[in-house]
Amino acid sequence: MEFRRPIAVRDIAHHAQAEIIGDASGMVTGMNEIHNVAPGDITFVDHEKYYKLVLASAASFIFINRKVDAPTGKTLLYTSDPFRAYNDLAIAQRPLLHTGASIAASAQIGEGTVIYPNAYVGEHVVIGSDCIIYPNVTIYAHSVIGDRVIIHGNSTIGGDAFYYKGRGTHYDKMHTVGRAVIHDDVEIGGGCTIDAGVSADTVVGKGTKLDSQVHIGHDSTIGMNCILCAQVGIAGNVRVGNNVTLYGKSALSKNISVGDRAVLLGSSASAKSLEGDKTYLGTPAEEVHRASRQFAIIKMLPNMWEKLRQL
């Protein structure tokens, strides 16, 4: 998320009651989770496992719960609870918006777009030209919809990121400040859910088609001209290339990528990145020829076991 205007790091530290380590004169231009940071951004880290990763990232400013030397070009904000400090900043920059109207007054609707009854369009939503928004579609605040997009009934665009911090007896919710961005010529089937990014964008590329009951998690990017069949599930921060086909009930775990023109066959799942121009099958997904051979061997095991028992 890019701020509307830069904020002095001194002011952020003051409100968070954080101690500055390093240059205290910097200006913060945005905030992002570690996977999407850019120079000028502020992020947070509160687990030793990720200190090295975050300190070496592109972020210029970091909430951290350990006193360490600030790397060159970075400013650290020491606080006992970086998650809460970051979350409070997110809430301050993009507070929750409330409207009683079905289509918010601040929404921008392009020429030729049809919005059916019982659809909801939130604050600062942008919808392009010649779109069709069917009944019971919900489009959350700040979402962006391109031209000639079709969204079928009961789909939800831009819902909150599924992001929580466990506190032992409860979970603290991360305030969502990212967006859902749907490019031109996309069609979204009935009952789909596309979450907004935590602090960046969840993106569906031009010409991509979603069947019914597809879920796309926060901060994921789907390329152009992809086909996502029914009940596909994509976790957070996944990068799917162009012209990818994901068949029904297939699933992708968080923080992985799928190369251009890859095919994941039905009911398959992967927790690792997949190369492009290949077809995959199974759980965990393997190239289809290797997976088919494995399945064939598994089917042979009962007979092999009986023969072994008779020896």
Domain identity same for 127 and 212: yes
Domain count, the chain: 2
Flag whether pLDDT at 307 surpasses 90.
Answer: no
For 12, other C-beta atoms within 10 Å of its C-beta total 24
Task: Label residues 82-111 b or e (16+ Cβ within 10 Å = b).
Answer: bbbbbbebbeebbeeeeeeeebbebbebbe
Q: What is the mean pLDDT of residues 46-58?
A: 95
Q: Which among 66, 93, 120 is the end of a domain?
A: 93
Domain identity same for 115 and 211: yes
pLDDT at 309: 84
Residue with tokens 């979204």: 188
Domain identity same for 32 and 137: no
**Token digits of residue 40:** 């000028």
Q: Report residue 243's pLDDT band, with 50, 70 and 90 as the boundaries.
A: very high
Residue with tokens 């002095």: 8
Alpha helices in 41-182 (DSSP H): 51-55, 82-93
pLDDT at 298: 85
99 within domain boundaries: no
Q: Are 263 and 242 in contact (CB under 8 A)?
A: no
Q: What is the DSSP string of 24-57?
A: SS-EEEEE--GGG--TTEEEEE-SGGGHHHHHTS
Domain identity same for 201 and 247: yes
**Token digits of residue 166:** 């466990």
Domain identity same for 115 and 254: yes
Residue 218 falls in the annotated catalytic set: yes
300 within domain boundaries: no
308 within domain boundaries: no
To the nearest 10 degrees (0 to 180), the angle between helices 82-93 and 9-16 is 120
- C-alpha 122: how far from chain center: 20
Domain identity same for 128 and 155: yes
272 within domain boundaries: yes
pLDDT at 302: 87
Flag whether pLDDT at 213 surpasses 90.
Answer: yes
Interatomic CA distance for residues 294 and 91, integer angstroms: 50
Single out the catalytic residue among 152, 175, 183, 218. Answer: 218
Could you tell me the CATH number of the domain that includes residue 204? Answer: 2.160.10.10
Could you tell me the CATH number of the domain that includes residue 69? Answer: 3.40.1390.10
Q: Which domain covers residue 174, as residue numbers?
A: 108-289
Domain identity same for 55 and 158: no
Domain identity same for 112 and 63: no
Domain identity same for 179 and 263: yes
162 within domain boundaries: yes
Interatomic CA distance for residues 281 and 100, integer angstroms: 47
Domain identity same for 118 and 246: yes
Flag whether pLDDT at 305 surpasses 90.
Answer: no
- DSSP 8-state symbol, 80: S
18 within domain boundaries: yes
295 within domain boundaries: no
Q: What is the mean pLDDT of residues 91-109?
A: 94
Q: Write the pLDDT tens digit of every residue in 111-129.
A: 999 999 999 999 999 999 9
